[in-house]
Amino acid sequence: MARRVRGLSDRAIAWLFVGPSIVLLLAVNIFPLIWTINLSFTNFKANRLRDVEYIGLRNYERILTDTDTWNSMQATAHFLFWTIFFQVLIGFALAYLINKKFKGNDLWTTIIVLPMMLSPAVVGNFWTFLYQPQIGLFNYVVEFFTGIDSSSFSMIGDVNLAPWSIVIVDTWMWTPFVMLICLAGLRSIPDSIYEAAECDRASKWRQFWTLTVPMVLPFLMLAVLFRGIENFKMFDLVVQLTGGGPGSLTTLTSIDLKREAFEKWRTGYASAYAVILFVTVFGLASIYVKALNKVKER
């Protein structure tokens, strides 16, 4: 667009407009990233004033051979897998039902969406109250429906239940996210396709698996991408709910990283940890995006 107009040239305006954003992002994202990479090769501790030594790849070596790291990776994998599993299942089912266009479906959709917009830390903290043995609402509801004594179990304190306590709350919060995206997918399918299938006498069941599911799949995969990245980063909700406990059972990678960086003050070590997490999330996300694009092309 090389049109000559009065005032600044287009190119000048373009840079003038993009400039501030890029500068800010460089200052708050890229510069820190480079700093982190640099620190990851040192034994720097942010709470000590001593000479910083470059120790090569030793931090990386220590992290990858530390059982704590692998425990937190495992906890993260469990959390990721099950939250996505339940959210996809329930989210898709809800979207499917809402798409039946019953009266008032807009209102109920908005109500269902509410938990996802709220502060995870504040809500997560309140869930510890709901999860309390005996007096907690959650435990009481379980007792009411199953007869299990509500003072006999603690979702957060029990080693078998704690990993599920965080899955439940995350599913409660984020199922609507998957639901909304699936709903957009369902609504993008033109009626004419179903009409054609009806003419071909395809059964409803067949229509569902050969039309509905493939058409919604790209949307569903996008939802999984977002949830995957978000839950890989998960910190606020879980730190408030379980604080990583009992023991280190729900210590997700972000919580582990926070301890290394801001409690043990092993800044160099934690920087290397951060770099490993970046590489993991970018690596997994780009492989996934490739798969997603393949599905879209079909």
Among 49, 65, 67, 104, binds other proteins (CB under 8 A): 104
Determine if 272 is a binding residue for other proteins (CB under 8 A): no
Among 11, 264, 294, 296, binds other proteins (CB under 8 A): 11
Look at phi and psi of residue 247 and say left if phi exceeds 0, alpha if psi is from -120 to 50, else beta: left
* Residue placing its CB nearer to other proteins in the complex, 6 or 290: 6
Among 191, 200, 201, 290, binds other proteins (CB under 8 A): 191
Among 65, 67, 117, 200, binds other proteins (CB under 8 A): 117
Among 80, 88, 181, 249, binds other proteins (CB under 8 A): 181
Provide the residue count of the chain.
298
Among 55, 130, 215, 217, binds other proteins (CB under 8 A): 130
- Binding residues among 42-81 for other proteins as defined by CB under 8 A: 46
Cα gap 18→13, rounded to integer Å: 8
Which string of DSSP letters, residue by residue, matches 86-117?
Answer: HHHHHHHHHHHHHTT--TTHHHHHHHHHHHHH
- Quick one: which of 103, 297, 93 has its CA closest to 208? 93
Q: Is residue 19 classed exposed, middle or buried when 0-12, 13-18 and 19+ CB atoms within 10 A define those classes?
A: exposed
* Residue placing its CB nearer to other proteins in the complex, 94 or 156: 94
- Binding residues among 192-231 for other proteins as defined by CB under 8 A: 194-195, 198, 219, 222, 226, 229
Determine if 115 is a binding residue for other proteins (CB under 8 A): yes
Burial 122-160, CB ≥16 within 10 A → b, else e:
ebbeebbeebbbeebebbeebbeeeeeebeebbbbeeee
Which own/partner contact pairs does 43-49 have at CB distance under 8 Å and 24+ positions apart?
Answer: 43/268, 43/269, 44/267, 44/268, 44/271, 45/265, 45/266, 45/267, 45/268, 46/265, 46/267, 47/265, 48/265
Among 123, 202, 215, 217, binds other proteins (CB under 8 A): 123
CB distance 87 to 174 below 8 Å: yes
Among 64, 118, 291, 295, binds other proteins (CB under 8 A): 118
| Residue 43 tokens, joined | 């034994």
Unique residue bearing structure tokens 């667009």: 1
Determine if 25 is a binding residue for other proteins (CB under 8 A): yes
- Residues touching other proteins, count (CB under 8 A): 105
User: What is the pattern of x (binds other proteins, CB under 8 A) and - over residues 226-265?
Assistant: x--x--xx-xx---x------------xx--xx--xx---
Q: How far is the CB of 58 from other proteins (least distance, A)?
A: 18
Determine if 149 is a binding residue for other proteins (CB under 8 A): no
- Quick one: which of 221, 127, 223, 214 has its CA closest to 166? 127
Q: How far is the CB of 50 from other proteins (least distance, A)?
A: 15
Among 42, 72, 150, 242, binds other proteins (CB under 8 A): 150
Q: How far is the CB of 25 from other proteins (least distance, A)?
A: 6
Q: How far is the CB of 67 from other proteins (least distance, A)?
A: 20
**Number of other residues whose CB lies within 10 A of the CB of residue 247:** 10
